[in-house]
Structure 1
Amino acid sequence: MSKVDRRIAKSQEAIKKAVIELMSEKSFDEITIQDISDRANVSRGTIYLHYLDKYDLLDKLIAEHIDKLREICESSSELEYIDANLPWFEYLEGHYLFFSTMLASKGAPSFRSQFLEFLIEEFKDEVDVAKGKNQGLKEEVILQFIVTSYVGLVEWWFNNGMPYTSREMAEQVGILLDRNL
């Protein structure tokens, strides 16, 4: 990676970090490009070099994290639920400020719906209503039950200061998924 590439990556990381920090402090609507520029210690021009506006920045930031979660899911698709959940909870924990801010923010309502859609996509193949414990139930009902529970659990975990380690969460959630899917 060249010196210029490193500088660009460093600027982009500073910009992303700045917008997340600002969103944890005030409404997204109140945040200006100047606020982001000041917090990230970059010029407004640098922000516009990479993003059309603050909405484009937020959209790209959300897409980046959901893509990373998708990669984690793909790389652990053959594992049991407990083992598959561990890298997921470790990622959530490692990006606590982003996820806790996005889930709590009124300025990013699209995050919740994108997060739920992503989870539905990931769990869709796990639901079998033709046989087993979910026979006769509606696939949409099971999916909504699982994904809204999952998101609610992540919110609870964050809002309570992550009282359990990511390993404990992975184990508990893995057992619950085994029981319900």
Structure 2
Amino acid sequence: MTEKKEDLRIARTKESIKKAFKELVCELPYEKVTVKAIADRAGINRNTFYLHYETTDDVLKEIQSRHISEYIEKVKDLTYTEDYPKLVRSFFEYNEAQDDFFKKVTCDSRFDYIREGMQKKVSAHTHQQTKTLHDKSTYIQNIVRAYSTSVLTLYRQWVSDGRKIPMEEMIELATTLLENGMKGFRNRQ
């Protein structure tokens, strides 16, 4: 029974650290989010923070790991070659369903180094599902994976522009461009 209480306390402490971290990231430039600020906001001391995390980046990585798992679960049966429209839709829908913190990390270039790790893990999973790539050279596989991340660029531009295009229309436009390029866009007109 005591162990369960301790586990619950640890879970609550980690949740309060993550909550404080997310709030601060939404309020401040990332480089100004300090362990002291997180501890103060979470109502703990710095030593308690260091019992669970070594750095603020470790908090971010843990939060991102949860998102990676959730997103991979969402797209687990989809492939690049057969399901690209579904992958584009899943990407937009997943991103739009997340909190402001997640959207900031997705769209703010200062988080590219963290997000790239997330993209690589998701891409590796989808790549495994895409059997038609397995007999291609590593270089071709790398180019296909790099191209598949173009959806992020389109999403970020859409967000940067204030989401002026309705999401359904944006998903269709992104799918057209990514599947058929400019020729597909011209034909869509």
Post-superposition Cα deviations, 1:84-107, rounded to whole Å, max 9, x if no partner, equal: 55454333122242333224152x
TM-score norm. by structure 2 comes to 0.66
Cα distance in 2 for partners of 1:17, 1:163 equals 30
Superposed counterparts of 1:25-64, under 5 Å? 25-64=27-66
Q: Does 1:104 align with 2:117?
A: no
Higher helix proportion (structure 1 or 2): 2
Name the counterpart of 2:21.
Answer: 19
Name the counterpart of 1:115.
Answer: 118
Cα distance in 2 for partners of 1:13, 1:170 equals 33
Contact 1:93 1:166 survives alignment (8 Å): no
- Give, in angstroms, the shift of residue 81 of structure 1: 4.2
AA partner of residue 161 (structure 2): N
Name the counterpart of 2:142.
Answer: 140
Unmatched runs of 5 consecutive residues or more in structure 1: 131-136
SS at structure 2 position matched to 1:12? helix
Q: Percentage identity across aligned positions?
A: 28
Post-superposition Cα deviations, 1:4-53, rounded to whole Å, max 9, x if no partner, equal: 65554443333223222322333333221111122233443442332223
Contact 1:51 1:57 survives alignment (8 Å): yes
If asked which structure has higher relative contact order (CA below 8 Å, sep 6+), I would say 1
Number of paired residues?
170
Unmatched runs of 5 consecutive residues or more in structure 2: 182-189
Post-superposition Cα deviations, 1:94-153, rounded to whole Å, max 9, x if no partner, equal: 2242333224152x34223213323432443548479xxxxxx94433332221x11112
